[in-house]
């Protein structure tokens, strides 16, 4: 069990809403539809390729929202170092990095006041996918290895499925932030590309510090109510 309750995190910031939308204007409209029920947003690759990415980041910061830049920096270390440096003074709270020790170290060295999160194993991958990628070890061992190396490299946390969160809490220093994507309110469906999922309450019970929620809010008939319901669940778990 995590001691996440002891961390100085505003409970309402523990929900990070994923802005996986085709345009910056649609993202803004969605943020306004959710209203005050969410204060932390993840801005990823789809919006980066649509144009207006940093204008959207600036708009979110102006709306007093926290921003998680999820671009999974993966390149030669000096390029990653420069990419992280480019986020300085933009009001960004979190950014993701992917890759080996040198890449993670380069990102961490340039982080300033940005929390650098290392990707362990994407929640869209399962054992069969790892076989295809040439990884001989099981998912849990790979996640644990990458998390340990991330902490050694100076990263602040990891992106990890809630299924592996208990292991991380048992094996690694509690300073490590655990951010859990792939949150689903019910048993996962075959048509969903997320494979290693948990629900909101289980994610926190397993040791997550933050959860990232996209489709369950975005596709809800009332996104504001969907976000409100998740916030209520978080408050109950923290209580």
195 is catalytic: no
In sequence order, the β-bridge partners of residue 18 are 42
Residue 110 neighbours by CB under 8 Å, 6+ apart: 81, 82, 84, 85
Radius of gyration of the chain (CA): 17
Active-site residue, from 5, 28, 72, 195: 72
Question: What is the reported pLDDT for 15?
Answer: 97
* Contact between 87 and 73 (Cβ < 8 Å): no
Spatial distance between the Cα atoms of 183 and 37, rounded to a whole number of angstroms: 17
Question: What is the reported pLDDT for 29?
Answer: 98
Question: What is the reported pLDDT for 229?
Answer: 95
3-state secondary structure 15-73: EEEECCCCCHHHHHHHHHHHHHHCCEEEECHHHHHHCCHHHHHHHHHHCCCEEEEEEEE
pLDDT digits (tens, 9 = 90+) for 37-57: 999 999 999 999 999 999 999
Q: Model's pTM, two decimal places?
A: 0.88
- What residue numbers bound the domain in which 145 lies? 4-238
Closest alpha carbon to 124 in 189, 194, 20: 194
Question: What is the reported pLDDT for 193?
Answer: 46
* Contact between 155 and 149 (Cβ < 8 Å): no
List the chain residues with pLDDT less than 70: 1-6, 121-139, 184-197
Question: What is the reported pLDDT for 187?
Answer: 42
Cβ atoms within 10 Å, residue 46: 15
Question: What is the reported pLDDT for 210?
Answer: 97
User: Cα angle vertex 144, ends 139, 145, to 5°?
Assistant: 100
Can you give the CATH number for the domain in which 202 is found? Answer: 3.20.20.70
Question: What is the reported pLDDT for 28?
Answer: 98
For the chain, what is the domain count?
Answer: 1
Spatial distance between the Cα atoms of 33 and 40, rounded to a whole number of angstroms: 14
């Amino acid at each position: 069990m995590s001691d996440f309750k002891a961390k100085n995190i505003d409970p309402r910031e523990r929900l990070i809403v994923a802005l996986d939308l085709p345009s910056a204007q649609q993202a803004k409209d969605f943020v306004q539809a959710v209203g005050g029920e969410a204060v932390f947003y993840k801005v990823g690759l789809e919006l980066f390729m649509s144009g207006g990415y940093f204008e959207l980041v600036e708009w979110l910061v102006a709306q007093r929202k926290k921003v998680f830049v999820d671009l999974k920096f993966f390149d030669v270390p000096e390029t990653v170092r420069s990419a992280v440096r480019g986020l300085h003074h933009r009001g960004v709270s979190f950014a993701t990095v992917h890759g080996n020790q040198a890449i993670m170290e380069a990102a961490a060295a340039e982080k300033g006041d940005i929390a650098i999160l290392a990707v362990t194993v994407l929640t869209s991958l399962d054992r069969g996918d790892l076989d295809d990628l040439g990884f001989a070890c099981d998912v849990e061992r790979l996640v644990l290895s990458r998390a340990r190396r991330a902490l050694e490299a100076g990263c602040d946390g990891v992106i990890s499925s809630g299924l592996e969160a208990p292991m991380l809490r048992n094996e690694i220093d509690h300073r490590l932030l655990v951010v859990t994507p792939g949150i689903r309110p019910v048993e996962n469906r075959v048509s969903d590309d997320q494979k290693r999922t948990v629900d909101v309450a289980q994610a926190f019970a397993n040791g997550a510090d933050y959860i990232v929620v996209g489709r369950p809010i975005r596709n809800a008939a009332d996104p504001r109510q969907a976000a409100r319901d998740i916030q209520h669940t978080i408050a109950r778990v923290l209580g």
